[in-house]
Amino acid sequence: MVDVVSSETRSRMMSGIRGRNTRPELVVRRILHASGFRFRLHVPDLPGKPDLVLRRWNAIIHIHGCFWHGHDCALFRLPATRTEFWREKIERNRSRDATVAEELERLGWRQLHVWECALKGPARVSTERLSARLASWLTSDSPKGEIRGH
């Protein structure tokens, strides 16, 4: 299938995709702040510059886009064009995620992964339920956690 836009236009469009302050990240930040949790953003001295760092709770929250991190949900579909390129790119992202998670675990951090499908799409979790799950995990002793769509 031929792309409907030129390669220059596609490149410009793809370069506009943000890695920080994404809509899912902003939603989680609003929920946490409204619940009284305070955090730091993208702390540069930690491996991978995690999305949210809650030092008081010794916790890190990663907010992953289902496409970019190859999540097994309805929001992820491998593109039909340049399939090998995208497969390799997503696999590199997943490999980097695993390496960063191991390093953070070795440093003693607890980690929660919040997937984009928990925040949008047909399987999304209600704001109240998401807030309760975030607070429950943060106040627990659980070293790892995951919040995904239904």
Q: For 35-85, write each residue's pLDDT tens digit.
A: 999 999 999 999 999 999 999 999 999 999 999 999 999 888 998 888 999
In DSSP terms, 146 is beta-bridged to 113
Residue 141, pLDDT > 60, answer yes
Can you give the pLDDT at residue 74?
87
Q: Using DSSP bridges, classify how beta strands 110-115 and 59-64 pair: parallel, antiparallel or unpaired.
A: parallel
Domains of the chain, first to last: 20-147 (3.40.960.10)
Query: In the structure, what pLDDT confidence band is assigned to residue 19 with cuts at 50, 70 and 90?
Result: low
Residue 17, pLDDT > 70, answer no
109 against 7, higher pLDDT: 109
Q: Which residues contact 56 (CB under 8 A, 6 or more apart)?
A: 38
Mean pLDDT throughout 4-18? 68
Residue 95, pLDDT > 80, answer yes
In sign, the C-alpha dihedral spanning 26, 32, 36, 42 is negative
Model pTM score: 0.86
Give the H or E element holding residue 125: none
Can you give the pLDDT at residue 142?
96
Q: What percent of the chain has pLDDT over 70?
A: 91
Residue 122, pLDDT > 80, answer yes
